């Protein structure tokens, strides 16, 4: 599978490394080349410096031939914008994005984006942990 | 009309002032506390502090009764999301977004923002106008038709000088609609109009033929 990941933070780098280890073709984009230090030694994919909300940069990253696209930068709005570009301008069939704000996540799900809110999931997880250990 | 503006920078500030003068009800949403205070000092209580992309803030602002929603921050992604939230969550009938990166125009349009103002393009056009050596000036873009109304000046050294319009190889989707010649009233050019140095042609052209038109009239 050809996968483009926007944002090489902890989650982006970890995901890139997992997919690469399974033999997928991975391209990671980040505005800061320093972020690529998080990629493991021997990472076989491509690391590209650039803005994931810029169409030309996304083209360079190979979004036109990508099977999947994941937006996991620190900004909800950047993720939403780059995911929508991938979906609507380039027609990538599987597009996932992280949206911290649960309300915004709900809205974009109704607009057809596949979004995950770590905030809601993590809060729920903490609550369950608290309840079971007492 | 009730108008909400997201972003209290200089565009937001002067826009707010202008709209208030015209008698509209205006509310500005701004993240920065100090910027908010500036509004209070000059314009009264027209600014609330908050994130214009957040549903809760827009609910507090009464977005569901807004007639127009304008996002004018320096971040394109924030303007996009603010307008999408206003449109889809609060059914605001008209959303207007400022665009800083001209490349975003097409995708924002596709994502349903009603009206886009590309500030970079506007500034470039105005500067181009002030550079006398530049032979083609954009006057108006007809977006739906993908056509432009442009002005082309015939510079010294143009290969078209002394030729009549029918002798020129003009792109088929360009129409020369007016010629302005020094000291004369603007005229509708005919096929026999002979080009002179300094002539200014107002033309309607398909956006993609703009460069061909410029070369035909002003190329050396």
* Cβ within 8 Å, pair A107-B85: yes
* Sheet-wide strand order for A94-98: A46-49, A25-30, A2-6, A68-71, A94-98, A114-116
Kindly state the percentage of chain B with pLDDT values over 90.
69
Pick from A54, A104, A110: CB nearest B53: A104
* Cβ within 8 Å, pair A104-B85: yes
Domains located in chain B, CATH noted: 2-122 (3.40.50.720), 131-218 (3.30.70.1450)
- Hey, is the C-beta of A60 within 8 angstroms of any chain B C-beta? no
User: How far apart (Å, rounded) are the C-alpha atoms in residues B79 and B77?
Assistant: 5
pLDDT digits (tens, 9 = 90+) for B132-166: 667 888 888 887 788 999 999 898 888 999 999 99
Residue of A nearest to B88 (CA): A107
- List the structure tokens of A9: 């933070």
* Cβ within 8 Å, pair A107-B56: no
Of A31-35, B16-20, B65-69, B195-199, least confident by mean pLDDT is: B195-199
Domains located in chain A, CATH noted: 2-133 (3.40.50.720)
Quick check: ipTM above 0.95? no
Asked if the model's pLDDT at residue B130 lies above 80, the reply is no
* Cβ within 8 Å, pair B101-A54: yes
C-alpha distances out from residue B194 to B133, B165, B169, Å: 22, 6, 14
Q: Which of B57, B110, B104, B113 is nearest to B81 (CA)?
A: B113
pLDDT digits (tens, 9 = 90+) for A8-17: 999 999 999 9
Average pLDDT over residues B61-86: 96
The pTM of the whole model exceeds 0.80: no
Chain B nearest C-alpha distance from A63 (Å) = 15
Q: Which of B58, B111, B113, B120 to mutate to test the interface with A (most CBs of A within 10 A)?
A: B111
Q: Which are the contacts of A18, defined by CB distance < 8 A and separation ≥ 6?
A: none
């Amino acid at each position: 599978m050809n996968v483009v990941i926007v944002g090489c933070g902890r989650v982006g780098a970890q995901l890139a490394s997992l997919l690469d280890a399974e033999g997928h073709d991975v391209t990671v984009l980040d505005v800061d080349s320093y972020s690529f230090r998080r990629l493991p030694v021997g990472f076989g994919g491509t690391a590209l410096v650039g803005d994931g909300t810029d169409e030309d940069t996304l083209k360079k990253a190979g979004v036109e031939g990508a099977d999947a696209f994941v937006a996991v930068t620190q900004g909800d709005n950047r993720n939403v914008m780059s995911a929508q570009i991938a979906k609507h301008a380039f027609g990538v069939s599987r597009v996932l994005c992280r949206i911290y704000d649960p309300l915004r996540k709900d809205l974009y799900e109704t607009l057809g984006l596949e979004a995950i809110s770590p905030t809601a999931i993590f809060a729920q997880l903490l609550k369950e942990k608290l309840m079971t250990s007492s | 009309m009730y108008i909400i503006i997201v972003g209290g920078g200089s565009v937001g500030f002067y826009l707010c002032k202008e709209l208030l003068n015209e008698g509209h009800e205006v509310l500005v949403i701004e993240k920065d506390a100090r910027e908010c205070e500036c509004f209070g000092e000059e314009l009264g209580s027209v600014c609330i502090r908050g994130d214009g992309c957040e549903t809760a803030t827009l609910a507090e602002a009464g977005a569901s009764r807004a007639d127009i929603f304008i996002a004018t921050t320096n971040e394109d992604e924030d303007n996009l999301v603010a307008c999408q939230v206003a449109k889809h969550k609060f059914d605001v009938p008209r959303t207007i977004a400022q665009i800083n990166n001209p490349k975003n125009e097409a995708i924002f349009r596709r994502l349903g923002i009603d009206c886009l103002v590309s500030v970079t393009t506007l500034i470039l056009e105005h500067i181009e106008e002030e550079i006398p050596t530049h032979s083609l000036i954009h006057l108006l873009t007809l977006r739906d038709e993908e056509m432009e109304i442009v002005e082309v000046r015939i510079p010294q050294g143009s290969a078209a000088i002394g030729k009549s319009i029918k002798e020129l190889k003009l792109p088929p989707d360009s129409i020369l609609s007016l010629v302005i010649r020094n000291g004369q009233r603007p005229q509708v050019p005919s096929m026999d109009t002979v080009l002179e140095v300094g002539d200014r042609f107002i033309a309607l052209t398909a956006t993609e033929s703009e460069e061909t038109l410029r070369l035909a009239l002003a190329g050396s």
